[in-house]
Amino acid sequence: MQEYLDLLRGNHDYRQLWISKLISLLGDWFNLLASATLIATLTGSGTAISALFLARFLPLFFTSPFAGVIADRLSRRQIMIASDLLRALTVLGFLLVRDPAHIWIFYTLTALQFTLSAFFIPAERALLPSLVKTEDLVTANALDSFTWSSMLAIGALLGGIATAAFGIRTAFVLDALTFMVSAWFVSRVTVPPLSPTERAHRESSSGGFFEFVDGLRYLRGRRFILVLALAKAAGSLIWGAANVVEIAMAEKIFPINGNGALTLGLIYATVGLGTGFGPIFVRRWLGDNRTATLWAITLGFALLTGGMLGLGWAPTLGWALAFTLMRSLGTGALWVFSSAFLQRVVADSFRGRVFAFEFAALTLTQSVSIVWAGLAQDKLGMGVQQVFTVTGLASIVVLVGWLVFRAKAQSAPAIAGVE
């Protein structure tokens, strides 16, 4: 852990960015617990819960390509600050939702919140390599994942308790406050000046749609980078369904004293532990060079598959939490090592568009998985564990596809075009 502490102590700008994420994420998990509880309470519908996640993810898909162009042309720090402040105002609007007739307001505001997030995410990921050394990228990404996961574990547990004890509106107010504090810390980040080459590139850019197409051409000519940019999308085909059925599992199968919010808090806390510590353990075991990174992604797909299949069998809450830990270990490894590899090999002038493409693909596949999970429960009559089993079988196909690519990537031609 010393190298993670050294990075925080020795890099002021990364530390400010990290603190902003720490605070904002704590509020995010309060928000998710409150949102899921609100929808489950007002509707009791699996499809309605799927719609909640669609309202969170589809705006990211439709907005990300344009947001990626913006992140490659304007100040990434200013984009992040504006996004934080506008999201704070949006989240306060959730206080207007009080009965089932107001659900459309909730979905609309959720979609607006995540439209703004679509500008923040590629800007933040594209900015990170400018703040840390290349050799520290895996360390920074692993620390970011640990932070995300720690806040998931802490925020989900506290959010479940707070939602049960103080009500849903408290969580929404706290989330709005964290966005404002996050914006203040981002404003303290000093971004290194652009190189003459990068400045010339931005000034000569054609703008808009043509820049987006330029980014697609960049990926098309670099097959290795393209597949890496699609790795999370492949994984989200699996974990997207888990987002929906975990809520149903908490409410219908393993409620604690009849309270699904407490169970959901435990599930999210377990996911936080897995995604946080997974990349750290995998990095210590395999290392962080390019070959080790590819093996880490392979391990991530394998653990994700095993965890989903196990959740289809789990007879008790204890077993369910154990297999949730396994699948989240895989998710964390897949997320961190694919991100770090992309940050290493993608040219700075295309970084915003590549990460926007990656996130758009991820949200699209995750949305497909979410819709399927909701319909499987409401229209196909499948139980929670049946959905887990079918999704786990689909994960085997994804794993095999990655193994085929991994084998081909051993050859030099497979990585042609990497910067």
In this predicted model, which residue has the larger pLDDT, 36 or 200? 36
pLDDT at 285: 85
Q: Average the pLDDT over 106-125 and give the result.
A: 87
Cα 398 from Cα 396, distance rounded (Å): 5
Tally of domains within the chain: 1
Is the pTM here over 0.75, yes or no? no
Q: Is 314 left (phi over 0), alpha (psi -120 to 50) or beta?
A: beta
| Domain assignment of residue 3, yes or no | no
Q: Tens of pLDDT along 2-19? A: 777 888 888 899 999 999
| Domain assignment of residue 1, yes or no | no
Q: Tens of pLDDT along 224-242? A: 888 888 899 999 888 888 8
Q: Which of 139, 110, 103, 123 is nearest to 28 (CA)?
A: 110
Q: Which amino acid is at 87?
A: R
| Domain assignment of residue 200, yes or no | no
pLDDT at 414: 45
Q: Which CATH number characterizes residue 368's domain?
A: 1.20.1250.20
pLDDT at 413: 43
| Domain assignment of residue 136, yes or no | yes
Residue with tokens 């290493």: 344
Q: What mean pLDDT value characterizes the chain?
A: 81
pLDDT at 68: 77
Query: With 80 as the cut, is the pLDDT of residue 159 above it?
Result: no
Distance, C-alpha 171 to centroid of its chain: 20
Query: With 90 as the cut, is the pLDDT of residue 209 above it?
Result: no
Query: With 90 as the cut, is the pLDDT of residue 325 above it?
Result: yes
Q: Tens of pLDDT along 72-111? A: 778 889 999 999 999 999 999 988 887 777 788 888 999 9
Backbone φ, ψ for residue 344 (5° rounding): -75, -40
> Following CA atoms 175, 384, 269, 151 in sequence, which dihedral angle do they give, to the nearest 10 degrees?
-30
Q: Which of 65, 116, 55, 127 is nearest to 89 (CA)?
A: 116
| Domain assignment of residue 144, yes or no | yes
> Which domain range does residue 315 map to?
9-191+207-411
Backbone φ, ψ for residue 83 (5° rounding): -60, -45
84-93, 203-212, 390-399: least confident range: 203-212
Cα 336 from Cα 27, distance rounded (Å): 22
Query: With 50 as the cut, is the pLDDT of residue 246 above it?
Result: yes
Q: Average the pLDDT over 133-145 and give the result.
A: 81
Give the total residue count for the chain: 419
In this predicted model, which residue has the larger pLDDT, 417 or 356? 356
| Domain assignment of residue 4, yes or no | no
| Domain assignment of residue 259, yes or no | yes
In this predicted model, which residue has the larger pLDDT, 98 or 415? 98
The fraction of the chain above a pLDDT of 70, given in percent, is 88
The fraction of the chain above a pLDDT of 90, given in percent, is 16
| Domain assignment of residue 199, yes or no | no
Query: With 50 as the cut, is the pLDDT of residue 383 above it?
Result: yes
pLDDT at 415: 46
